[in-house]
Amino acid sequence: MQKKKHLSIGDEGHLSDLRRGQRCLVLDFHNDNAALRRRLLDMGITKGVIIEIKKIAPLGDPVDISLRGYELCLRKADMASIDIKVVA
């Protein structure tokens, strides 16, 4: 995983690259783990959904994200499989 620092509005990258308070649009998944992919879909992480980074654990991982009016905690390794575009 290439670590890009400071994605700004309009940039594309992975969900794991964002900082607290940033919002993004989900573009696609790339994922070998079928069960995880299914779980992420079930939790509402579908193409076009808006995700905001709400809280980051004190040690930098996992991350609490907000989408579809609720919040969810994910590990950064799993977030790296989600392609996004920064919107705010």
Residue 35 identity = A
With CB under 8 A as the contact rule, the residue among 11, 27, 62, 85 that binds another protein is 62
Residue with tokens 């994605």: 7
Assess 35 for contact with another protein (CB under 8 A): yes
Residue 11 or 72 having the CB closest to another protein: 72
Write down the least CB distance from residue 33 to another protein, Å: 7
Q: Which residues pair with 32 in a beta bridge?
A: none
Sign of the CA dihedral with 15 first, then 2, 19, and 77 last: positive
Please report, for residues 11, 38, 64, 84, the alpha-carbon distance to residue 32 in angstroms, rounded to integers and kept in the order given. 25, 11, 23, 18
With CB under 8 A as the contact rule, the residue among 43, 52, 83, 85 that binds another protein is 43
Assess 44 for contact with another protein (CB under 8 A): yes
**Which stretches of the chain bind another protein, using CB under 8 A?**
29, 33, 35-39, 41-44, 46-47, 49, 54-62, 64, 68-75, 77-78
